[in-house]
Amino acid sequence: MSPASPSPTSQPLSQLLSRTADAVQAVREGRSLTDVLARCPAELRGGTQALSFHVLRWMGSAQAAAKLMVPKNPPPAVDALLTTGIALLWPVKDPPYPDHTLVDQAVTAARKRTPANAAFVNAVLRRFLREREALVAAAQRDPQGAFNHPPWWIERVRKDWPQQWQAVLQASNEHPPMTLRVNARHGTAEAYVARLAERGIAARVLGALAPQAVVLARAVPVTQLPGFAEGEVSVQDAAAQLAAPLVVGRNLPTEAGAPLAAGARVLDACAAPGGKTAHLLELADLDLQALDSDPTRLTRVKDTLDRIRQSAQLSAADARHPATWWDGKPFDAILLDAPCSASGIVRRHPDVRWLRRNSDIGNLVRTQSELLEALWPLLKPGGRLVYATCSLFKDEGQAQVDAFLQRHGDAKSVQHAPFTGHLLPLPENPGMAAEPAAYDGFFYALLVKT
């Protein structure tokens, strides 16, 4: 089952609602949804993930409506179940369950979770159904209720994108497509779409911006993808597929330098989970060092490289401290996919907006700056560094690069539209009008050492 599209499963809905409420409560307490789902029983994980994604996308609206009906906060476990129920009853196209079924099963879940509050849950959810139109209108007068993001996030997007802020926030609530990257060593996107058609899986080639990208009409388990286990295809958003061609030098302007020669030394500075690392090796024969500060996450990079039958030097170290991992030989190219707010990929990770705090952004900006400062001396003259973040916030993108350029006279920013700059999932992006919704929010800068 796709996490983007909740639908009935063989598991009792009351169990899924209870698990989903647990997940909502955990996110409110600061735990990531990924960690919560990892502890969910296997038979309930898919359904819980699907419902949790839906609820977290509509949690701002549900909370606003709940406050109108219940001014005094109920116990956290009850509040989480109410939020879950209201979010799933919110008027959307193709609701996951009939209203009466949802209310009945939410009350069943309440009897098992907090028996003394079952009648209260029943009363609130039935009131929401009776007064839904008026409650929805009232909830949407509150910014968080209207846009389903925290107020500080809404204000930051409004400040950064004054002409597009509402569209950007709305796009962040859309269901993302499942996008594949066809291994260039194994074939073309067109040929792979034909293979999928033979399996009854509808898909299309994305286009010239990401020539190896294939977008599925609906998400499917990777076990159904022909050649996945053999490394012939991987799951990767289209925007993330723009990084590797910038690094290896596919169709770049002259001032960005020549394409990398075979055996070129390349650093992937923050490599986990390994999607961009793999893409680099699919495009060119490189002497690649993949670095990540988390040894556990680095094992995911190795697993990915094993699956595509490629290898790299893997190092568990903090890229900000080259003395602990660098051999002194300069790199021809560096990919810095820096830690960031992940504000550009919240449609895929809807818990991120509720986990982040405004104060996090300043800390992340400092880390990004420290990484740029540490890695720039490791680059050969004439080499290029690709700085990337999956963020919509300008402080983590253009403002970060502008400050770096002011500090480094030997750095030149090469503009290569639409690949560099801030990428938003909007038709206004140059070259993306045909498929704006296929791209997550990203920022790319192409820096050349003069």
Query: Which residue numbers are catalytic?
Result: 390
Tell whether the torsion through CA atoms of 181, 182, 183 and 189 is positive or negative: negative
Cβ atoms of 362 and 311 within 8 Å: the answer is: no
Burial class (CB in 10 A: 0-12, 13-18, 19+), 130: exposed
CA pair distance 250, 363, nearest whole angstrom: 34
Burial class (CB in 10 A: 0-12, 13-18, 19+), 214: buried
Distance of CA 127 to the CA centre of its chain: 35
Q: Which of 371, 334, 325, 328 is nearest to 449 (CA)?
A: 334
CA pair distance 230, 209, nearest whole angstrom: 25
Strands (E) located in 400-441: 411-414, 421-423
CA distances from 47 to 4, 14, 39, 149 (A): 11, 11, 14, 24
Q: Which of 427, 429, 433 is nearest to 418 (CA)?
A: 429
φ, ψ (nearest 5 deg) of residue 166: -65, -40
DSSP designation for 95:
-
Q: How many residues does the chain have?
A: 450
DSSP designation for 421:
E
Q: Which of 258, 261, 314, 310 is nearest to 282 (CA)?
A: 310
CA pair distance 334, 336, nearest whole angstrom: 6
Angle between helices 295-307 and 275-283 (to 10 degrees): 40
